[in-house]
Structure 1
Amino acid sequence: MRPPVRDYLLMLFITAAVTHLLTGPVRKFAITIGAMPEIRARDVHREPTPRLGGIAMFGGLLTGYLVASHLPHLEEIFTQSSTPRALLSGATIIWLLGVLDDKWELDSLVKLGGQVLAAGVMVFQGLTILWLPVPGTDGFYLADWQGTLLTVGLILVTINAVNFVDGLDGLSAGTVGIAATAFFLYAYRLWYGYGIEAAASTTLISAILAGMCLGFLVHNSHPARIFMGDSGSMLLGLLIAGCAVSVTGEVDPSLFSQTVDGTAGSAAMVPVYIPLLLPLSVIALPIADLVLAVVRRTWNGKSPFAADKGHLHHRLLQLGHSHRRAVLLMYFWSALFSFGIVAFSARGAKSWILYGVTGVCALGLVLLLQPRYETALAARLGSLTPRWYRKGRAHLTPKDSDAERCAEAGAERPVPRPEDDGAVTEAGVTYAGAGASPGTGAR
Structure 2
Amino acid sequence: MFNTLIMGFVVSLAAGIILGPVVIKKLKAFHARQEEREEGPESHKYKAGTPTMGGILILFSLLVSCVAFNGADTAKWAALFLTLGNGVIGFLDDSIKTVKKRNLGLKAKQKLFGQALVSVVFCLILKYVVELPTTLWVPFTALNIDLGFFYYIFVFFVFVGATNAVNLTDGLDGLAAGSCAITAVAYVVIAVALGYGGMALFSASLAGACLGFLFYNQHPAKMFMGDTGSLALGGALAAIAVLTKTELLLVLAGGLYVIEALSVILQVISFKTRGVRIFKMSPIHHHFELSGWSEVKVVTVFWVFSALTAIFSIIIVLADK
TM-score, normalized by length of structure 1? 0.63
CA distance 1:315–1:279, change in 2 (3 Å): same
Structure ID, larger Rg: 1
* Aligned twin of 2:277: none
Q: Return the alpha-carbon distance in structure 2 between the equivalents of residues 139 and 236 of structure 1.
A: 27
The residue number in structure 1 matching 2:86 is: 94
Q: Structure 1's 222 and 9: CA in aligned 2 closer, same or farther, altered over 3 A?
A: same
In the alignment, does 2:115 pair up with 1:115?
yes
1:86–1:215 CA distance, 2 compared to 1 (3 A): same
Deviation >6 Å, runs of 4+: none
Q: 1:141 aligns with which of 135, 139, 146?
A: 146
Q: Secondary structure at the match of 2:172?
A: coil
TM-aligned CA distance change 1:129 to 1:220, over 3 Å: farther
Q: Which stretches in structure 1 are left out of the alignment for 5+ residues?
A: 69-73, 192-198, 249-274, 303-307, 349-443
149-158 or 122-131, larger mean C-alpha shift: 122-131
How far is the alpha carbon of 1:86 from its aligned partner?
Answer: 1.9
> Hey, what does 2:214 align to over in structure 1?
217
Which residue pairs with 2:157 in the alignment?
153
- State the TM-score, normalizing by the size of structure 2: 0.86
Question: Within 5 A, what are the aligned runs for 1:186-201?
Answer: 186-191=190-195, 199-201=196-198
TM superposition shift of 1:100: 1.6
C-alpha distance in structure 1 between counterparts of 2:310 and 2:84, whole Å: 27
Letter in 2 for 1:94: N
* Contact 1:129–1:147, Cα closer than 8 Å, also in 2: no
The separation in 2 between residues aligned to 1:58 and 1:288, in whole angstroms, is: 25
Structure 2 counterpart SS, 1:132: strand
CA contact (8 A) 1:278 1:338 kept: no
Aligned match for 2:25, one of 24, 28, 45? 28
Cα displacement string for residues 158-199 of structure 1 (whole angstroms, at most 9, x for unaligned residues): 0000000000000000011000000101111222xxxxxxx1
Q: 1:136 to 1:18 in 2, by over 3 A?
A: closer
For the residues of structure 2 that align with 1:136 and 1:298, how far apart are their CA atoms?
33
Q: Tell me, in whole angstroms, the C-alpha distance in 1 between the residues paired with 2:142 and 2:177.
A: 37
1:346 match: 318
Q: Which SS does the other structure have where 1:224 is aligned?
A: coil
SS in 2 for 1:140: strand
Displacement of 1:10: 0.8
Aligned CA distance change for structure 1 residues 337 and 55 (closer, same or farther; 3 Å)? same
Q: Quick one: structure 1 residues 136 and 55, their matched pair in 2 at CA, closer, same or farther if it must change by over 3 Å?
A: closer
Instruction: Give the whole-Å Cα distance in 1 for the aligned partners of 2:142 and 2:189.
Output: 25
Match of 1:171 in 2: 175
Q: By how many angstroms is 1:347 displaced? A: 5.0
Per-residue deviation at 1:276? 4.7
Moved more, 47-56 or 308-317: 308-317
% identity of equivalent residues: 28
Taking the aligned partners of 1:244 and 1:220, their CA distance within structure 2 comes to 26
Change (3 A) 1:137 1:336: closer
Deviations 1:289-337 (A, max 9, x none): 21221232244349xxxxx942111112122211111100000111111
> Residue 165 of structure 1 aligns to which amino acid in structure 2?
T
- Residue 94 of structure 1 aligns to a residue whose secondary structure is helix
Shift of 1:283: 1.2
Matched ranges for 1:234-313 at <5 A = 234-248=231-245, 275-276=246-247, 278-301=249-272, 309-313=281-285
Does structure 2 retain, via aligned residues, the 8 Å contact 1:27–1:52?
A: no
Q: Determine the C-alpha separation between the residues in 2 that align with 1:276 and 1:93.
A: 20
C-alpha RMSD of matched pairs (Å): 2.2
Task: Quote the Cα distance in structure 2 between the aligned partners of 1:35 and 1:136.
Answer: 48
Structure 2 unaligned spans of 5+: 97-104, 274-279
Equivalents in 2 of 1:168, 1:137: separation in Å? 39
Give secondary structure in 1 for the equivalent of 2:244.
helix
The 1:137–1:180 alpha-carbon spacing in structure 2 relative to 1, beyond 3 Å, is closer
CA contact (8 A) 2:203 2:240 kept: yes
- Displacement after TM superposition at 1:88 (Å): 2.5
How far, CA to CA, are the matches of 1:129 and 1:118 in structure 2? Answer: 20
> CA offset at residue 19 of structure 1?
1.7
Residue 113 of structure 1: how far off its partner (Å): 1.8
Alpha-carbon contact 1:20-1:56 (below 8 Å) kept:
no
Equivalent residue number for residue 100 of structure 2: none
User: Residue 182 of structure 1 is aligned with which of 186, 190, 195?
Assistant: 186
Q: Is the 8 A contact 1:35 1:103 kept in 2?
A: yes
Matched pairs, number: 298
Contact 2:182 2:207 in 1 (8 A): yes
Report the more deviating stretch, 313-322 or 172-181. 313-322
What is aligned with 2:287? 315
Residues 186 and 314, structure 2, Cα contact 8 Å, conserved in 1 = yes
Q: What does 1:404-415 align with in structure 2 at a 5 Å threshold?
A: none
Counterpart in the other structure of 1:380: none
> Could you say what secondary structure the match of 1:300 adopts?
helix
Q: Distance in 1 between matches of 2:178 and 2:287?
A: 19
SS of structure 2 residue aligned to 1:52: coil
Question: Which one has a larger percent helix, Structure 1 or Structure 2?
Answer: 2
CA distance in 2, matches of 1:23, 1:99: 17
The 8 Å contact of residues 79 and 240 in structure 2, kept in 1 or not, is answered as no
Partner of 2:57: 56
Mapped to 2, the partners of 1:176 and 1:66 lie a distance apart of 21
**Which of 76, 81, 84 in structure 1 is aligned with 2:76?**
84
